[in-house]
């Protein structure tokens, strides 16, 4: 049995992860973390499912990580980095689904991965990671005469934009085209912007309601367009992908891995 701890265990995604671990035949819930002051602290992590796991939600990292092999973290960048440091000190592997990291923060994650196994992915969905591979193929084939726009939509509570998944899609396309996403990305348009620069990759962001995650990459040519989309209708897809990542890390040597590694899709 793989002993898994969940960070942010009382949140929407955290509860989905707790439930996935509880139902998995090869995993057991070893710890449940929440930030100080969270009303769920002290409660059994699966009480809301009508079952007792014997694992209480805690803000004490020493307790929450005491018997853990892999931590799954979908919190905020600062919290994730604090959890990562604690896991590095204890030799615990980490699956990171948190988004919104700065380049400096990503460097900290890479440094920690010298000592522990880390899977870092902006989206743990199997379908999204297949789409990233399809985008590489499409971009190479549609490299002339097509404008590229990425549209993403998420719930009103999401705090970063564009989404990490949209940025990963943009990076996949830019890499296939031999471009630098930092140099060619356009993150918003307003007023008189002039004609579209064909070398750019545009991003549009929608926030509202309870949208879990919709992403579309549009290749718009003259007389035709190609759209590659992924729509998530349940957070369960992220939870199941995270468990695949946790299984991948169990017993694996230190290193920084992606979902392409987990799914055997090859380097991207």
Catalytic amino acids?
A: 154, 158
199: helix, strand or coil:
coil
Chain-centre distance of CA 92, in angstroms? 19
Contact status, residue 217 vs residue 169, Cβ threshold 8 Å: yes
Say which DSSP state 165 is in. H
Tokens of 20: 């996935």
SS3 23: helix
Q: What are the C-alpha distances in Å from 165 to residues 97, 219, 221, 267?
A: 10, 17, 24, 17
How long a stretch of residues is the chain?
268
CA pair distance 120, 139, nearest whole angstrom: 24
**Is residue 83 within 8 Å of 7, Cβ to Cβ?**
yes
- 72 forms beta bridges with 6, 95
């Amino acid at each position: 049995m793989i002993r898994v701890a969940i960070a942010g265990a009382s949140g929407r995604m955290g509860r989905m992860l707790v439930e996935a671990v509880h139902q998995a035949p090869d995993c057991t819930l070893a710890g449940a973390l929440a930030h100080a002051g969270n009303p769920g602290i002290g409660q059994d992590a699966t009480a809301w499912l009508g079952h007792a796991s014997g694992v209480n939600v805690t803000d004490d990292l020493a307790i929450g990580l005491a018997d853990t092999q892999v931590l799954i973290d979908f919190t905020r960048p600062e919290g994730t980095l604090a959890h990562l440091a604690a896991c590095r000190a204890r030799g615990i592997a980490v699956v990171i689904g948190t988004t919104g990291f700065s380049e400096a923060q990503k460097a900290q994650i890479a440094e920690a991965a010298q000592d522990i196994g880390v899977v870092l992915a902006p989206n743990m969905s199997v379908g999204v990671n297949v789409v990233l591979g399809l985008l590489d193929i499409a971009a190479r084939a549609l490299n002339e005469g097509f404008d590229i726009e990425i549209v993403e939509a998420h719930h009103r509570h999401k705090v970063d934009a564009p989404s990490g998944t949209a940025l990963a899609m943009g990076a996949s396309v830019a890499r296939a085209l031999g471009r630098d996403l930092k140099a060619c990305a356009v993150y918003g348009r307003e007023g008189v912007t002039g004609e579209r620069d064909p070398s750019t990759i545009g991003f549009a962001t929608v926030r509202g309601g309870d949208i879990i995650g919709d992403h579309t990459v549009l290749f718009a040519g003259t007389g035709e367009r190609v759209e590659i989309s992924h729509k998530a209708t349940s957070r369960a897809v992220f939870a199941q992908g995270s468990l695949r990542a946790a299984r991948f890390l169990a017993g694996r040597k230190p290193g920084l891995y992606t979902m392409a590694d987990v799914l055997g899709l090859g380097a991207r």
